[in-house]
Amino acid sequence: MLSKNFYSSLSIVFVLVLLIPMQISAAGANDAGCLYCHQGIEDFTDGPMMIVIKAIAQSFNDPGGCVVCHGGTPSATDKNIAHTGAPTALTDNGGPSRFYPDPGSVWIASETCGQCHQGYPERLQKALMNTEAGKL
């Protein structure tokens, strides 16, 4: 008959075997940020703006740069947590105050694009595609 110590040790090993993949998974999310779940997402633009966005996002462990415009919690492994809030350091410096699934929307441009691009929300509001000016 096996001893209590054997079963206790076996139980501990079993629990560790279950927890180690969870720790690796969380570490992967911390390193990959939003791209941990959103693999294959391409940059929305090429050039200097994307370079700046990715440089800012490095501070938030988000190499894809998503958090700079979308907000959210890039280190989270739970979808609901990842899609809420925004890093305090980002909001304190003019970034989005919460998660925005579509940061380019005309209705929220002042909270997203307008944080970095002065005058953009006003130009967007007055744009032909928004006002349909001249439509007969």
When computed from its CA atoms, the radius of gyration of the chain, rounded to whole angstroms, is 22
Q: Which residues of 94-110 are buried (b: 16+ CB within 10 A; e: fewer)?
A: ebbeebbeebeeeebbe
38-70 per-position pLDDT tens digit? 998 899 889 999 999 999 999 888 999 999 999
The domain ranges of the chain are 11-101
Q: What confidence category does residue 80 fall into, taking pLDDT thresholds of 50, 70 and 90?
A: very high
Structure confidence at residue 121 (pLDDT) = 92
